[in-house]
Amino acid sequence: MLQNDLILRALKGEATERTPVWMMRQAGRYLPEYMVLREKYGFFERCQTPELACAITLQPVDLVGVDAAILFSDILVVPQAMGLEVQLIESKGPYLPDPIKTAADLKRIRVPEVTETLGYVFEAIRLIKRELNNRVPLIGFAGAPWTLLCYMVQGKGSKTFDEAKAFCYQQPELAHQLLQMITDTTIAYLQEQVNAGADVVQIFDSWGGLLSPDDFEILSLQYMRQIVAALHDKVPTILFAKGAWHSLDKMAATGAQGLGIDWCIDPVMARKFAGNQVTLQGNFDPAKLLSPIPVIEKEVEKMLAAFGPGRHIANLGHGILPNVPVDHAKAFVHTVKNYRHSK
Ligand code: CP3
């Protein structure tokens, strides 16, 4: 039995004595303890070594006091397992030297046997669960098929992912073949994460907001729907499609228990769009953690009041920034933990 199951209860819609809290990208560069391991080991070495992934996953639980651990890994281990080379270039981000552009490129990749190619992730999860010793739940995750396609076709980060979009608009059949391959891999990958011990899974659609509402349905949501359906009877799922507030109603209808929102929609409006049968997660502007601590405290309380009691998991609206002082991250978490909604 978990000692702290606030997040699981919030996802079920049960009453909780306070709002639970965690932060996207909570294991990362704002933590000096992470930087020590970053000096010594390469990025994918940290992901692929279960002892390192475990140590990094536990850091924010021990140091910042969040209500959940999230597996330390990256969404780009899936394209790697499918046969694409992925590098992480210091201060530049992901780089895929041979991206997918043609039908011939698609033949170079496959839906892999995940237990063979991603076994290190499942081993890390088993180790993390042992080390957590039931203190808090463990969140597993994967990238949404659309967001992974963006990197697999564009080959690097981008503000617009115009080459990825051009691929979808010029060669829709190929695009859908690729999206289905990613979806099939992701379903197997997340099912194995759950078998290894993940208590919740989150799908990161970081680039969902680049699409029109119609294209979001065609290129993203229909694939995320398959993933949610495949996991539905196993663990709660959280869909985080940054910028795709226009489709909160459709995302709620997938049966996902949680929906992540960013700071460009206010909580009252998000609740109106999403309806009352789903838990909302978010939505503090990560850059606001650079404010003085008293301002953070006031703004967090304002956010909590706007969400109201129940069916809310406090989080940032996107990943924590590397230049956030640790004390500011702690102020965010502590303010949530100390807040009580008036009866
Ligand atoms: O939330 C967590 O603490 C778990 C770990 C996690 C990482 N990446 C570790 C990481 C998670 C959940 C991710 C997801 C991820 N990765 C996303 C979706 C979420 C989002 O932020 O939109 C995306 C788009 C990626 C792809 C990716 N990985 C990018 C664009 C970058 C470079 C930019 C950056 O933040 O440095 C990475 C590298 C990465 N993934 C780092 C970490 C801690 C930084 C690596 C380092 O320099 O140490």
- Helix 50-63 × helix 32-40 angle, to 10°: 170
Q: What is the pLDDT of residue 75?
A: 98
Query: Quick check: helix, strand or coil at residue 337?
Result: helix
95 is catalytic: no
126 is catalytic: no
Q: Is the CB of residue 319 below 6 angstroms from any atom belonging to ligand 1?
A: yes
Q: Are 151 and 94 in contact (CB under 8 A)?
A: yes
Q: Where are the beta strands (DSSP E) in the chain?
A: 69-70, 87-89, 93-95, 138-143, 200-205, 237-241, 258-260, 279-284, 312-316
110 is catalytic: no
Q: Is the CB of residue 56 below 6 angstroms from any atom belonging to ligand 1?
A: no
**pLDDT at 110 exceeding the cut of 90:** yes
Integer Cα distance of 288 and 332 in angstroms:
10
Q: Which of 25, 86, 128, 263 to mutate to test the pocket of ligand 1 (most atoms within 8 A of CB)?
A: 25
46 is catalytic: no
The pLDDT of 101-111, averaged and rounded, is 98
Instruction: Give the other-Cβ count within 10 Å of 147's Cβ.
Output: 25
Distance 13 CA to ligand 1 centre (A): 29
The confidence band for 342, taking pLDDT boundaries of 50, 70 and 90, is: confident
Q: Are 2 and 290 in contact (CB under 8 A)?
A: no
Q: pLDDT digits over 33-84, tens only?
A: 999 999 999 999 999 999 999 999 999 999 999 999 999 999 999 999 999 9
- Give the sheet arrangement for strand 200-205, strand by strand: 69-70, 138-143, 200-205, 237-241, 258-260, 279-284, 312-316
Q: What is the pLDDT of residue 128?
A: 98
Residue 283 phi/psi, 5-degree rounding, is -140, 40
Q: Characterise 25 by phi-psi region: left (phi > 0), alpha (psi -120 to 50), beta (else).
A: left
Say what the pTM is.
0.97
Q: pLDDT digits over 145-181, tens only?
A: 999 999 999 999 999 999 999 999 999 999 999 999 9
The confidence band for 240, taking pLDDT boundaries of 50, 70 and 90, is: very high
Q: What is the pLDDT of residue 88?
A: 96
52 contact partners, CB below 8 Å, separation of at least 6: 37, 41, 45, 46
Distance 178 CA to ligand 1 centre (A): 22
Q: Is the CB of residue 88 below 6 angstroms from any atom belonging to ligand 1?
A: yes
Nearest CA to ligand 1 atom 36: 93
Domain range list for the chain: 6-338
| Percent with pLDDT over 70 in the chain | 100
Q: Is the CB of residue 181 below 6 angstroms from any atom belonging to ligand 1?
A: no
Q: Among 244, 130, 241, 140, which residue's Cα sits nearest to residue 192?
A: 140
Distance 42 CA to ligand 1 centre (A): 14
Fold assignment, 6-338: TIM Barrel (3.20.20)
Give residue 324's identity as a one-letter amino acid code: V
- For 110-165, the DSSP string reads ----HHHHSHHHHHHHHHHHHHHTTSS-EEEEEE-HHHHHHHHHH-B--SS-HHHH
**pLDDT at 115 exceeding the cut of 80:** yes
Q: Is the CB of residue 75 below 6 angstroms from any atom belonging to ligand 1?
A: yes
